[in-house]
Amino acid sequence: MPSANSWEFLLCKNSMGRCMNLKAFTDEIEKQKLNVEGVIVFQRGAELARHHWIPEQRCKIYSVSKSFVSIAVGMAIEEGKLRLSDLVTRTLPREKPDSRWDALTLEHLLTMTMGHPKFTRPKSVKDAMSCELVYDPGSFFYYDNACTFLASVMLTKATGLKTRDYLMDRLFRPLGIADPEWQESNDGYTLGCTGLLLSTSEMLLFGRFLLQRGCWEGKQLVSGAWIDMATRTQVPTRPSQKLADYDIGYGYQFWTCRHGAYRCDGRDGQFIVVFPALDAVVAINSNEEKNMEPILWAVWDCILPGLRSGF
């Protein structure tokens, strides 16, 4: 991994002269040889610091994509095109009747309580709809890409637009995220569960939008009430081997975590961590395939104390 001074190490100051030194964070990342590519810290209306180990570029943000689907669903609900109680099989009929499938709602998809106890990577609606539901919907949390993919398909059926296209004028362009790529399924739907490509700076823009409870440049893009619902614990999560940050709970495609924070969380260490009480966001892009959790712990240990102290 390049050293902390090999490409960019930037302190950002606002009009009050506040800044943050990321040396403790970068030292910890390099000590553990974690493949982090970039980090940006934002608090109280100003960017405090950023560091890039490589030149910034768009890359796959994996399951951070899921949180964008949540925002799209919230917008569609507010437009009267979707309801949390909408039944999946009313939109996507199955050939084989099944009482559990017939009870499955959009809200179950958003909370990962579909009742299918296996992680899947569906390539089409047919793949996703073939899952066996072992538990009653709403009774069992299991993190599964099929849930988000089906929510993305339901949005397209309700609005007539692919999820990416639906968000273009409602979210991406207002935030200044120009024409992002988002992978599609074999049958032409935005995957939703993964496949969105963004830079660290673009991830930060989304984090700031969340921090502002859906308001951007004076315009409410989605209600603050939806942000509040989506980012608070809606269901308990299963005990895991990843410690408290995966055991606190799950909202509507957002993880709740320690220190009063919530986060978007991608497979290889992509994080958008929002601290509402501290008016702060931390955005991180990584390519760490095997050991992503210590990146988040380094946020708690090395960045959070500075956010709390106010410098």
Q: How far apart are CA 65 and CA 195, in angstroms?
A: 7
Beta strands in 29-162 (DSSP E): 36-43, 46-52, 59-60
Q: What is the CATH number of the domain that holds 219?
A: 3.40.710.10
> Nearest to residue 133, comparing CAs of 113, 161, 156, 157?
113
For the stretch 288-302, pLDDT in tens is 988 999 999 999 999
pLDDT at 310 over 80: no
For 17-120, where are the alpha helices, taking DSSP H only? Answer: 23-31, 65-78, 88-91, 99-103, 106-110
Q: 88, 106 in Cβ contact below 8 A? A: yes
Residue 43, in any domain of the structure: no
pLDDT at 283 over 70: yes
Give the residue numbers spanning the domain of 150.
63-266
pLDDT at 238 (0 to 100): 75
Residue 240, in any domain of the structure: yes
> Nearest to residue 302, comparing CAs of 36, 80, 13?
36
Least confident of 69-78, 163-172, 209-218, 244-253: 244-253
**Sorting pLDDT into bands at 50, 70 and 90, what band is 245?**
confident
**Sorting pLDDT into bands at 50, 70 and 90, what band is 306?**
very high
Q: 254, 262 in Cβ contact below 8 A? A: yes
Residue 92, in any domain of the structure: yes
pLDDT at 17 (0 to 100): 54
> What is the pLDDT averaged over residues 12-16?
42
pTM of the model: 0.94
| Domains of the chain: total | 1
pLDDT at 278 (0 to 100): 97
pLDDT at 95 (0 to 100): 85
For the stretch 102-143, pLDDT in tens is 999 999 999 999 999 999 999 999 999 999 999 999 999 999
pLDDT at 233 (0 to 100): 97
Residue 210, in any domain of the structure: yes
For the stretch 42-74, pLDDT in tens is 999 999 999 999 999 999 999 999 999 999 999
Q: What percent of the chain has pLDDT over 70?
A: 92
What is the overall mean pLDDT for the chain? 93
